[in-house]
């Protein structure tokens, strides 16, 4: 390495790539008061980009995680790729934000996607991986022959002509749409101008989150409970919203407008709603936060209704409850944090003197808000690791938030956890099987006894430590993927894989029953019995077949600088159920069938169980077992009734049923596209 | 002068479609003959009853002697809206009504060629139907190409995807069927047949034009009705008032479902704009110079056409790479056609002319909402009708009308969103309510809507009769007395019902 004449090492890569982009939606650039705050600079970790074929310097927007291909099939053209390494472009933090330059669109999409990915990685303590691609058996395309690593998510910034964008899990792609503006408020968008969904921070972050969540828990796209689809939507919106709030520049403008009662802080809620408005139908997820009074034109927070969760079933409305709950928690935490500041600024009265807020105060407040948002974002993301792998409910999510936070911050002196619990409680979201809404009962039981023979326990945890050792220095996502596969199924480095070890150390040991109970799975050893109980039989495990869906290392640094080393394993199992509702309206199970024989059991349904096992590498013990029991008849009933009644009130049902629409482009395609239909 | 004292409502049983003959009597004397719609869904038929048979039956009942000839005669022909299952019998080639003498033709204001809003609605509809036809054909073509090249065999869940795809394609074309068979004359470079200038006409429009130009002759006149209109003191309908309740003349026209969630109040906002962009895109892709911004969302930027791109190494290695075919997005944008079709269908249903016919002496009301959907229903409550009772004037509201409804023609073949709940069915409190449902099984997923049928049966105490649904044969329904009704009422009802293979007829006395 030779230092060049500039005094910097030419081999040293810059830590960041700075790219300008819209903070809001371009429509807000047209409003004078917001125009100055609309452009922000996204700071993204530097990465090498692919070179344009046969060139040495020119790059295309394709890096470690994503590749942007700007194809517009409706128009029948490609828009050439932006070269983000172009030197003039580097010198001025990327292209000028512009609606009319497709290369800037690519830059914007790149900037927000990468920001979202990095936020996830910071919270999860590991690399983001996309959901695998399945390669089918030629004879039966419903069966997986092999699964393949997906290196890059494919991004199409101009794929659709509609006010919609979606993540397509079959294509591992995000498709963005554009449409002519015909705005509700004509002053905001040029009538006849074009609105591009790929220029909205919140829409990009929202769709990216769908893709990331799909990579974490692939069963979450199955609508088994009124909460599952709502959760996917709400979670995506929560990430978009709080990521947006982590930019203090965005908040400053709004906070500077504060007058009078500073503690009310309605401005932030209003801001959340305003971002939402710019997103069209996406905005409905923020409806439960608050509303603008039609008479006074003042923004008012919604008073949460404890019956909301029990009564609202449409998944946008339901998702909105979760978004509002998290936002409520955020506001309360923020208010708590700025209490002292307010006392100083108002001489203890809480009421501001007339006139503009002091600019330093504006800075302080916006920084606090941005920090709080960033904390809440991390809490929300991390909690996903503590969720069961199937059939997730809002209650499960609350328990996950509390447990995850407990692992990171032992004493809750800032009352974050209480803020979350209160916000959920106010909306009637109670997890099942919990005795009270206290932190102690909501947090999952720590260190449940596995009753393993010592040698087994040691061997197993040693194996996990080996996994940690081998994986923690890998940075290449393909290598991480391959090695993880090896640790699940066996291979030269791992030798015996996790699957086999579970078979030997747990299932076929004395603690088999206890493990089955903790995991909520059934390991029937007899082939005929399996048939009766509705499980496929695995010749490999010699038990009812089960899968290991994920193996993750989570290395996280707590706010107190402690390092938490966890290995997370998620397991899943499925069984076929034939059920009916009898004359008394009671749920009855007729029989079970093997999922392999789904074709002969068209009237039946597939019921899944699963568990998330979190091992603590420091104590060498199983720390949590978070399960959805495969034997839970009540859950079967819930799923059955839900799937029977789920079409109620859906206009599209008359011609296209739910499966048709979802089957075309995946479940996310029509979540935002139902133009006139609830 | 005596008043009308009985009305006979005849519902024909020719399949999925509406045809109602309503005859008003003074004692034994037939005073007024009204026909409401006459249509059958495309590709539907009953084995022993064609639409021509239906028209022949009508002729039998309405012919009058003119000189030596018997001439079929209607006092009023009501054409509710532009859907094939309501107008197919008026198709010009069929000539089924050409020898009819029709005094009045009643249509909704949305059909008025002089109405500015109506012009816009119809122009939009035309474009949309064209675009839908183009999109449907493109999608069908791509499905068969992908099938041939083995795309589905090589994709995970491919066989299921193909099933879904084929179902979607066929659902699209069945929605197009509402506008009648798709006619086309010329072929565009991309192989799609459309008429020049995109001035395609659907068979529905031809049928409508036929009514307007050919059937409206002699002394007959077309009347276009605005909601809120009251017809009374008609020479041949003494003792009868007709309230025009819909279609609405405001934004509710576009509203087809209750607002909630994602749909909240966006029905005239972004999403319609979104549709417009899609429609233009489709037409442009079929060769029309109609795309917004000249077919591209950008001006003065570098673009590489798909054909050119195939020669670029960059695109060869990425988008066109053989390993990556599973990620291509050629037709994804066209799936929007599903939403477009639904919206058009709902919008057209909402242009339904809705009539409530009152027999003044008894106050009984017969309600014919055609295929009106939520927005249309909601708008009824925006109006009041001033009626004179002796010397006093009374303002009649939609609630009053629903309260006195004793006969209800189920909206839109008893689908889920064409009978409003709180502001509709729940207000129909009359003990004597009878419901007729013109509908046939297995024509559309979700029609009839089971929950609605249950509620209708509760409200009407089991007096619910279907025209052509094999799951609900009226002969069977009439055999056993439902639990919720007294024997006396049930017997009285049965006495007033005539069921033949051709029709079901109900007689209402003004008492």
Give per-10-residue mean pLDDT for chain B (511 aa). 91 96 95 96 88 96 92 94 90 89 92 82 76 86 87 82 81 70 42 40 75 73 92 92 89 47 30 71 72 67 94 95 90 85 78 94 95 86 88 92 96 83 88 96 80 90 96 94 93 96 95 81
pLDDT at site A21: 93
Tokens representing B442 are 């297995």
Nearest-Cα distance to chain B for A633, in Å, is 27
Maximum mean pLDDT: which of A9-23, A409-423, B197-211, B422-436: B422-436
Contact B341, B176 (CB under 8 A): yes
Q: Inter-chain contact A141–B284, Cβ cutoff 8 Å?
A: no
Q: Inter-chain contact B261–A647, Cβ cutoff 8 Å?
A: no
Nearest to B101, CA basis, from B80, B132, B67, B77: B77
Q: Which residues of B touch A281 (CB under 8 A)?
A: 262-263, 266, 270-271
Kindly list the distances between the CA atom of residue A124 and the CA atoms of A216, A477, A591, in Å, as whole numbers in the listed order: 11, 15, 41
* Lowest model confidence (mean pLDDT) among A2-6, A68-72, A79-83, A117-121: A2-6
On the question of pLDDT at A156 being above 60, the answer is yes
Q: How many CB pairs under 8 A join A and B?
A: 286
Q: Inter-chain contact B273–A163, Cβ cutoff 8 Å?
A: yes
Nearest to A153, CA basis, from A214, A197, A231, A81: A214
Contact A652, A677 (CB under 8 A): yes
Between CA B483 and CA B461 the distance in angstroms is 8
Nearest to B57, CA basis, from B81, B83, B23, B102: B23
How do B221-225 and A39-45 pair as beta strands?
Answer: unpaired
pLDDT at site A454: 62
Q: Which residues pair with A355 in a beta bridge?
A: none
Selected residue with higher pLDDT from B30 and A139:
B30
* Lowest model confidence (mean pLDDT) among A205-219, A537-551, A609-623, B238-252: B238-252
Nearest-Cα distance to chain B for A136, in Å, is 5
- For A156, the closest of B280, B295, B329 (CB atoms) is B329
pLDDT at site B25: 96
On the question of pLDDT at A92 being above 90, the answer is yes
Nearest to B434, CA basis, from B97, B8, B3, B5: B8
Q: How large is the average pLDDT for residues A568-592?
A: 91
Between CA A496 and CA A666 the distance in angstroms is 36
pLDDT at site A673: 43
Write the pLDDT tens digit of every residue in A167-220: 998 899 999 998 876 544 444 444 557 888 899 899 999 999 999 999 999 999
Q: How large is the average pLDDT for residues A287-299?
A: 78
Q: How large is the average pLDDT for residues A398-410?
A: 93
Write the pLDDT tens digit of every residue in A225-274: 889 889 999 999 999 999 999 998 888 877 887 665 555 557 778 777 77
- For A675, the closest of B260, B271, B417 (CB atoms) is B271
Between CA B11 and CA A455 the distance in angstroms is 82
Cα A276 from chain centre:
18
Tokens representing A317 are 């409305």
Q: How large is the average pLDDT for residues A373-382?
A: 95
Q: Give the CA diameter of chain A.
A: 87
Helices (H), A296-314: 308-311
Nearest-Cα distance to chain B for A388, in Å, is 25
Q: Inter-chain contact B342–A656, Cβ cutoff 8 Å?
A: yes
- For B270, the closest of A71, A158, A163 (CB atoms) is A163
Kindly list the distances between the CA atom of residue A205 and the CA atoms of A146, A165, A613, B267, in Å, as whole numbers in the listed order: 30, 11, 29, 26
Contact A564, A408 (CB under 8 A): yes
CB atoms within 10 A of CB A302: 16
On the question of pLDDT at A486 being above 80, the answer is yes
- Name the closest residue on chain A to residue B286, using Cα atoms: A74
Q: Inter-chain contact A78–B303, Cβ cutoff 8 Å?
A: yes
pLDDT at site A279: 63
The DSSP 8-state label assigned to residue B197 in this structure reads G
- For B446, the closest of A168, A175, A654 (CB atoms) is A654
Q: Which residues of B touch A320 (CB under 8 A)?
A: 261
Q: Which residues of B touch A663 (CB under 8 A)?
A: 160-161, 163-165, 168
Residues of chain A with pLDDT > 70, as a percent, come to: 86
pLDDT at site A669: 58
Q: How many CA atoms lie within 13 A of A509 on its CB side?
A: 19
Q: Which residues contact B343 (CB under 8 A, 6 or more apart)?
A: A675, A676, B256, B275
Q: Which residues of B touch A79 (CB under 8 A)?
A: 298, 301-304
How do B221-225 and B101-108 pair as beta strands?
Answer: parallel
User: What's the angle, vertex CA A220, arms to CA A219 and CA A222, rounded to 5?
Assistant: 75
**Is this structure's pTM higher than 0.90?**
no
Kindly list the distances between the CA atom of residue B391 and the CA atoms of A8, B232, B387, B388, B394, in Å, as whole numbers in the listed order: 100, 16, 10, 7, 10
Mean pLDDT, rounded, of chain A = 84
Tokens representing A63 are 């890096």
Residues of chain A with pLDDT > 90, as a percent, come to: 46
Q: Which residues pair with B503 in a beta bridge?
A: B12
Q: How large is the average pLDDT for residues A89-115?
A: 95
CB atoms within 10 A of CB A443: 21
Residue A663 — pLDDT band, cuts 50, 70, 90? low
pLDDT at site B200: 42
Report yes or no: B450 at the A interface, CB cutoff 8 Å: no
Nearest to A502, CA basis, from A449, A459, A444: A459
Q: Which residues contact A121 (CB under 8 A, 6 or more apart)?
A: A127, A128
Q: Which residues contact A340 (CB under 8 A, 6 or more apart)?
A: none
On the question of pLDDT at A8 being above 70, the answer is no
Between CA A544 and CA A538 the distance in angstroms is 6
Report yes or no: B305 at the A interface, CB cutoff 8 Å: yes
Selected residue with higher pLDDT from B427 and A32:
B427
Write the pLDDT tens digit of every residue in A498-519: 888 888 877 877 778 888 999 9
* Lowest model confidence (mean pLDDT) among A80-84, A378-382, A645-649, B86-90: A645-649
Selected residue with higher pLDDT from A153 and B412:
A153
Q: How many CA atoms lie within 13 A of A268 on its CB side?
A: 29
Q: Inter-chain contact B160–A136, Cβ cutoff 8 Å?
A: no
Give the mutation candidate from A276, A651, A674 for the B interface (greatest B CB count, under 10 A).
Answer: A651
pLDDT at site B438: 96
Between CA A49 and CA A94 the distance in angstroms is 15
Between CA A508 and CA A505 the distance in angstroms is 6
Residue A120 — pLDDT band, cuts 50, 70, 90? very high
Radius of gyration of chain B (CA): 25
Q: Which residues of A touch B278 (CB under 8 A)?
A: 161-162, 179
């Amino acid at each position: 390495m030779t230092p060049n004449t500039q005094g910097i090492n030419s081999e040293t890569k810059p830590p960041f790539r700075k790219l300008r982009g819209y903070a809001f939606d371009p429509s807000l650039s047209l409003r004078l008061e917001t125009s100055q705050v609309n452009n922000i600079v996204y700071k993204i970790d530097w990465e090498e980009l692919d070179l344009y074929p046969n060139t040495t310097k020119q790059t295309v927007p394709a890096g470690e995680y994503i590749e942007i291909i700007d194809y517009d099939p409706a128009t029948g053209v490609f828009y050439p790729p932006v070269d983000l390494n172009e030197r003039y472009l580097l010198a001025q933090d990327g292209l000028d934000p512009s609606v009319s330059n497709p290369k800037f669109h690519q830059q914007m999409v790149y900037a927000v996607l990468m920001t979202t990915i990095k936020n996830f990685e910071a919270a999860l303590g590991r690399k983001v991986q996309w959901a695998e691609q399945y390669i089918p058996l030629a004879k039966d395309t419903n069966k997986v022959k092999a699964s393949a690593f997906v290196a890059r998510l494919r991004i199409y910034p101009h794929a659709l002509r509609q006010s919609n964008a979606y993540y397509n899990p079959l294509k591992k792609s995000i498709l963005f749409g554009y449409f002519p503006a015909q705005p509700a408020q004509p002053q905001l968008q040029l009538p006849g101008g074009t609105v591009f969904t790929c220029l909205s921070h919140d829409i990009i972050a929202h769709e990216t989150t769908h893709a990331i969540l799909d990579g974490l828990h692939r069963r979450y796209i199955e609508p088994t409970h009124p909460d599952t689809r709502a959760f996917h939507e709400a979670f995506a919106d929560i990430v978009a919203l709080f990521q947006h709030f982590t930019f203090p520049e965005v908040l400053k403008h709004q906070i500077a407008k504060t007058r009078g009662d500073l503690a009310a802080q309605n401005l932030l809620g209003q801001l959340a709603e305003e971002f939402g408005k710019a997103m069209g139908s996406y905005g409905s997820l923020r409806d439960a936060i608050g509303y603008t009074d039609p008479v006074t034109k003042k923004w008012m927070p919604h008073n949460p209704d404890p019956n909301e969760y029990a009564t609202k079933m449409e998944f946008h409305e339901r998702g909105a409850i979760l978004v509002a709950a998290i936002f409520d928690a955020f506001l309360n935490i923020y208010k708590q944090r700025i209490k002292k500041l307010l006392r100083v600024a108002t001489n203890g009265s809480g009421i501001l003197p007339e006139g503009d807020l002091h600019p330093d105060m504006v800075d302080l407040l916006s920084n606090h808000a941005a920090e709080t948002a960033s904390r809440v974002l991390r809490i929300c993301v991390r909690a996903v690791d503590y969720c069961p792998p199937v059939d997730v409910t809002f209650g499960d999510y609350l328990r996950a938030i509390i447990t995850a936070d407990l692992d990171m911050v032992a004493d809750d002196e800032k009352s974050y956890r209480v803020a979350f619990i209160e916000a959920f409680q106010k909306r009637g979201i109670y997890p099942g099987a919990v005795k009270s809404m206290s932190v102690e009962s909501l947090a999952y039981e720590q260190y449940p006894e596995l009753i393993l023979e010592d040698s087994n326990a040691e061997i197993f945890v040693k194996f996990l430590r080996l996994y940690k050792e081998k994986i923690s220095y890998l940075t290449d996502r393909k290598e991480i993927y391959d090695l993880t596969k090896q640790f699940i199924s066996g291979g030269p480095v791992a030798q015996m894989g996790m699957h086999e070890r579970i078979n030997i150390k747990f299932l076929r040991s004395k603690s088999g029953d206890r493990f089955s109970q903790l995991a909520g799975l059934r390991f029937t050893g007899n082939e005929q019995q399996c048939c009766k109980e509705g499980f496929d039989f695995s010749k490999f495990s010699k038990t009812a077949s089960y899968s290991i869906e994920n193996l993750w290392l989570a290395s996280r640094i707590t706010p107190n600088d402690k390092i938490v080393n966890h290995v997370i394993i998620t397991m899943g199992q499925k069984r076929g159920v034939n059920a009916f509702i009898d004359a008394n309206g009671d749920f009855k199970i007729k029989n079970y069938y093997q999922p392999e024989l789904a074709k002969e059991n068209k009237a039946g349904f597939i019921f899944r169980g699963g568990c998330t096992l979190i091992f603590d590498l420091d104590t060498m013990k199983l720390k949590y077992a978070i399960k959805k029991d495969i034997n839970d008849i009540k859950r079967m009933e819930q799923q059955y009734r839900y799937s029977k009644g789920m079409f109620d009130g859906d206009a599209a049902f008359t011609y296209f049923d739910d499966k048709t629409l979802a089957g075309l482009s995946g479940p996310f395609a029509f979540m935002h596209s139902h133009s006139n239909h609830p | 002068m005596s008043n009308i004292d009985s009305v006979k409502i005849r519902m024909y049983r020719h399949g999925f479609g509406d045809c109602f003959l309503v005859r008003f009597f003074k004692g034994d004397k037939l005073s007024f003959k009204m026909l409401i719609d006459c249509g059958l869904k495309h590709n539907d038929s009953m084995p022993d009853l064609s639409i021509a048979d239906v028209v022949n039956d009508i002729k039998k009942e309405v012919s009058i002697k003119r000189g030596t000839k018997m001439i079929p005669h209607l006092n009023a022909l009501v054409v509710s809206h532009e859907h094939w299952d309501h107008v197919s019998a008026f198709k010009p080639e069929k000539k089924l009504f050409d020898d009819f003498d029709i005094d009045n033709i009643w249509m909704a204001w949305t059909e008025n060629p002089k109405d500015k809003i109506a012009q816009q609605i119809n122009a939009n509809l035309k474009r949309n139907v064209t675009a839908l036809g183009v999109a449907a054909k493109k999608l069908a073509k791509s499905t068969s190409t992908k099938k041939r090249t083995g795309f589905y065999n090589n994709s995970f869940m491919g066989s299921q995807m193909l099933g879904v795809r084929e179902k979607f394609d066929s659902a699209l074309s069945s929605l197009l069927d509402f506008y009648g068979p798709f006619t086309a004359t010329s072929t565009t470079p991309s192989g799609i047949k459309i008429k020049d200038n995109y001035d395609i006409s659907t068979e529905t429009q031809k049928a409508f034009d036929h009514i307007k130009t050919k059937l409206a002759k002699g002394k007959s006149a077309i009347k276009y009705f605005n909601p809120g209109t009251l017809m009374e003191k008609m020479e041949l309908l003494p003792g009868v008032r007709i309230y025009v309740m819909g279609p609405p003349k405001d934004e509710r026209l576009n509203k087809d479902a209750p607002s909630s969630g994602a749909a909240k109040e966006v029905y005239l906002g972004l999403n319609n704009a979104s549709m417009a962009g899609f429609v233009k895109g489709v037409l442009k892709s079929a060769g029309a110079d109609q795309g917004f911004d000249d077919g591209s969302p950008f001006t003065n930027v570098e673009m590489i056409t798909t054909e050119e791109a195939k020669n670029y190494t960059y695109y060869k290695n990425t988008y066109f790479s053989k390993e990556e075919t599973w990620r291509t997005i050629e037709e994804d944008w066209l799936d929007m056609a599903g939403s477009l079709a639904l919206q058009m269908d709902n919008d057209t249903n909402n242009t339904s002319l809705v009539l409530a016919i009152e027999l003044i002496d008894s106050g009984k009301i017969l309600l014919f909402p055609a295929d009106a959907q939520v927005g249309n229903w909601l708008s009824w409550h925006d109006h009041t009708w001033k009626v004179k009772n002796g010397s006093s004037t009374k303002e009649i509201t939609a609630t009053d009308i629903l309260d006195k409804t004793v006969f209800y023609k189920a909206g839109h073949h008893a689908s889920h969103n064409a009978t409003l709940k709180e502001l509709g069915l729940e207000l129909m409190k009359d003990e004597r309510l009878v419901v007729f449902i013109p509908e046939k099984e297995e024509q559309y997923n979700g029609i009839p809507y089971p929950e609605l049928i249950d509620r209708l049966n509760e409200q009407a105490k089991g007096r619910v009769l279907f025209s052509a649904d094999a799951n609900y044969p009226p002969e069977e329904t009439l055999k056993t007395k439902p639990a919720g009704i007294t024997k006396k009422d049930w017997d009285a009802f049965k006495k007033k019902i005539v069921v033949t293979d051709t029709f079901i007829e109900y007689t209402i006395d003004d008492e």
